[in-house]
Structure formats: C-alpha cells, structure tokens
Chain A
Amino acid sequence: MAKLFSKSHEWVEMTDETTAVIGLTDYAQKELGGLVFVNLPEEGDDITAGETFADVESVKAVSDVISPVTGVVSEVNEELLDAPESINEAPYEAWFVKVSDITEKEELLTEEEYDAFVAAL
C-alpha cells in the first residue's frame, strides 16, 4: 500500500480497511533535528484522529506527534525507545505504532500532494 500523509507530518500506511502503521515524515525529522527521546503509547491505548498520541524530543525541544486516525494501538515499536535516532536515519522504516479498529481518519494527502504541501511551507 502506498503511504499517505497528514498535514501535521505523520505518514500512514493502511494495511487493510481498518488497520494501519504510523510514523513521522522525512520533512518532520529534518525540521526537528537529532532526536534523543521518544515517548510512545501502550498497546491497547485508544488514539484519536487529530490528537497527540506520542511525543519526540530533540536536545532543544519537545514536539507532539498527532494521530492521523482514530483506533486502538495494536503494536508499539519499542526499538525506537532505545534508538530514537533511527527516526532521523530512516523515517519511513521507523514506524511508531500499528493501529487496528480504525473508525476515522484525518484528511490525508498522497505523496505528490504532500510534497507540494511541504514545498509551499
């Protein structure tokens, strides 16, 4: 499945109608700079489209990561906890959470639309 993108710079890969994988975009990791800490939700947590579900920290600042979907966290990428820099190194492989029981989605952009959106920022 092709990745879709939120305007708050998360990527979503829908694995089927109601499940997805979520991460942070390349643009976001570049803007944030070297990441040194990630705070993730727990398996079973409810997350809501448009609301914070995780945060990432560089040496300078904390940034919220917004969920592009409403659903239930089915898996957490705990490897990020020990290696937050992997988000900088490979943002499209460093997934944050897998979500199931998705009932709602934010407005999501295609790669082309997202590139144009970022170019205009």
Chain B
Amino acid sequence: MAEEQLKRTSLYETHLKYGGKIVPFAGWELPVQYDAGVINEHNAVRTAAGMFDVSHMGEIICKGPDALANINMLLTNDFTGMEDGHARYSPMCNENGGVVDDMIVYKKNDYEYMMVVNAANKEKDFRWMKNHQFGDVEFLDISDSISQISLQGPKAITILKKLVSESDIPKEYYTCNWSVDMCGHDVTISTTGYTGEDGVEIYAPWDAAPAIWDALYDAGKDEGLLTCGLGARDTLRLEAGMPLYGHEMDDTITPREALLSVFVKMDKEDFIGKSAIEAKTPPARKKVGLEVLGRGIVRENMDVYKEGKKIGRTTSGTMCPYIKKAVACALIDSEERVLGEEVEVDVRGRRIKAVMCKSQFYTKG
C-alpha cells in the first residue's frame, strides 16, 4: 500500500508523545513498540498491565429483523439464544470452507449485532456481508467513528476501577457493558482481549481516545502499566496460542485445519462453507504447536520436515519473552501430527529440531 494512503488513529500524536516507534501496518500508521521495547511491554502484560491502541480494528453493525438469520448464515458459530451484552468469537468462511476473516460478535439486542473484524480485511468483509445479505437487514461500517483501547494484564481491572465504578465493569468473560461513563465519554467496556490475560477492550467515540489513554496511563503507571505496541501484541497472542488471520488461517485454510472446530457448529441448518467443510473432514492438514529444541528462532513460512520428508510450513514463530522459549505454529499433514514427536525446521538453511505440542504455550496462572 502506498504511503500516502496510510491512515492514522486518533491516538497518533499521543503515540509520538509516549515515544512510540511508528510503522505501517494493515494500512495504518501504528506503534510497533515504545521506548521500553517489546520484551518489557510483553512481560508488563503478563505481570502487571499493558495498554494497546487497536483503533485500526473494524466495527460493522448488522441490524434489522433478519440480523440473527444473516449472522448465522455468514458465520460458522451459532448465535441463536445468545444473551444481550454477550460476545462470541467466530470464523467467517467462503464457499470452499476457507476463512474470509475471524471476528468477535457482540449482541446489542435481537435486532442489532456489532462485529469487530481485522483491519486488513475490513473492506473485504463488508463487501462479503453485503453480497450475501438477505431479508430485512442492514450492514453499516462504523469503524471511522470508533476508537478501541485494549487494557490487559492481571492489574487491568484494578487500574480500570480508578476511572469507572466497579458496577460498570462486566463480571463475566466475553460480556460487555454498552454504555459506561469514562472520563466524561460514553464508552463500551468488554471483557475480551488477545493476550491470554484478564483485561478489557474499551470502545470509545473516535476523538475521545487521547483523553482516555492519558487517564488510563496516569491511573496505571504506578501499578507497572506500560504502553504496548504491535510487536508485543503479536508475541503475546502467539505465546497464548491465539491464531492470527493471514497466518494460522486465510482464504485457503479451513477452521478445522486451524483447530477452530469448536467455533464451527455443524448442527446449524446451514452456513456459508458448511458443505465444503463437511467434505474436507477429516482435514488433510492441521495446525500444530512447535517448541524449538535446537538453538535458533523459527519464524513464519519455514519448511517443516519429519524424518527427512517435508510435512508442512510454519505459520508464525518467535522467541516468547515470558516463557523464554522459541515457539512456532505450523500447518502440517494430519497423519504426521503426533504430539511429543520431533520434527526439523529449515531456518535459513539450517535444520533445527523442534517438538510437536499444543499451540497454547502459556496459560494464565
């Protein structure tokens, strides 16, 4: 994407003020890290708290009497019977069973849902939804009016309590409180995140983000809160075994292959991609976690070998700062996927040993 087309969140100036190192990402100019660096930012989220600007994420509203029917047809998860103020994760598939995008869907009421999608996929998703809509329903892209700040870590709720009353914070995981007064702004607080820690995501009016960011930082800095960039966001999600679109799944990878079957409800009457996913069961390839045994760091798009035979490719890989291990995710032939067995990864011409494992490398204590 050409540089002049890059967009800025309402926090752009704030990031510069806090020492953010700005990089292009999914069409946006966002901080990859601040002065503390990726490792300290990552560990702050595991041991205290971290805050992220995720305003680049897209928000799409689906509303009308046929909202639920449309969502159940578009997405693989089942939204029937979901309570108001609850959130649910789901892949959205194409007719071949490949993943168009993955998202979190919030239910406002029987007639209105909010879908939070990946920045890089927003235009594609919106077109896809509009091209497949039926009955009395409307899709609205409201991304330009919403900023999103993610506050994550064991101290996140303690910090948040300094700015909003305890009753404003949703108790249950994957629920939200639609209308909360925070620093004089009307925001939505949801107990969701992408780090493997407790925390919240705050949806605020576009221009309200800088004031909320400053207030959160002031409330949290004595608790060990750090501002965090995209670098730590990626290492945290990978350490916690969470998939990233464009890596663990894409238009050619099915949710089953990405081990997301729990979010694919085959007992639903129908949804886009259902027959293709059925036809590809059991999947010929599957995701696996790799813990590196040899010296080196495995990255994405590296070939994986077992007993000299190529069995797949890595989809993500890094050195995880908290567990202090080099790990990766790979998509490999299903019959070769035996947890505990060794494979080799070609790291720029060197074969490095790794052991197959579940991809959740870190679990919150």
Partner of B297, one of A33, A34, A36, A81: A36
Chain A interface extent, by class: 10 to 19
Task: Fill in one digit per residue for B26-43: 1 if any A CB lies within 8 Å of its CB, else 0.
Answer: 000000110001111010
The reply to whether A81 and B38 contact each other, CB–CB distance below 8 Å, is: no
Question: How many residues on chain B are close to A (CB under 8 Å)?
Answer: 19
Q: Mark A21-52, 1 if CB is under 8 A from B, else 0.
A: 00000000000011011010000000000000
User: B118 at the A/B interface (Cβ < 8 Å)?
Assistant: no
Residues in A with CB closer than 8 Å to B318 are 59-60
Counted as pairs of residues, one from A and one from B, with CB atoms less than 8 Å apart, the total is 41
A59 touches B235 (CB 8 A): yes
Pick from B32, B39, B40, B231: contact of A36, CB under 8 Å: B39
A58 to B38, Cβ gap below 8 A?
Answer: yes
- Alpha-carbon gap, A3 to B39, bound state (A): 30
Whether B38 pairs with A59 at a CB distance below 8 angstroms is: yes
Is chain B's binding surface mostly helix, strand, loop or mixed? mixed
Inter-chain contact B297/A62, CB cutoff 8 Å: yes
How far is B350's CA from A37's CA once the two chains are assembled, in angstroms?
Answer: 15
Contact partner of A60 (CB less than 8 A), chosen from B38, B295, B326, B348, is B38
Is the beta-carbon distance between A59 and B321 smaller than 8 angstroms?
yes
Is A57's beta carbon under 8 Å from chain B?
A: yes
- Would B296 and A34 count as touching, CB distance under 8 A? no
A81 CA to B294 CA, complexed, in Å? 13
A residues 43-98 touching B (CB-CB < 8 Å): 55, 57-60, 62, 81
Interfacial chain B residues near A60, Cβ < 8 Å: 32, 38, 231, 234, 318
B169 CB-CB contact with A under 8 Å: no
Q: Which of B33, B39, B235 has the most CB of A within 10 A?
A: B39
Report 6 cross-chain contacts, Cβ distance below 8 Å, ordered by A residue: A33-B38, A59-B318, A59-B321, A60-B234, A60-B318, A62-B348
- Which residues on B are within 8 Å of A, measured CB to CB? 32-33, 37-40, 42, 231, 234-235, 295-297, 299, 318-319, 321, 326, 348
Query: Besides A33-B38, A34-B37, A34-B321, 19 other CB < 8 A contacts?
Result: A33-B37, A33-B231, A36-B39, A36-B297, A36-B321, A37-B295, A37-B296, A39-B296, A57-B297, A59-B38, A59-B231, A59-B235, A59-B318, A59-B319, A59-B321, A60-B234, A60-B318, A62-B297, A62-B348
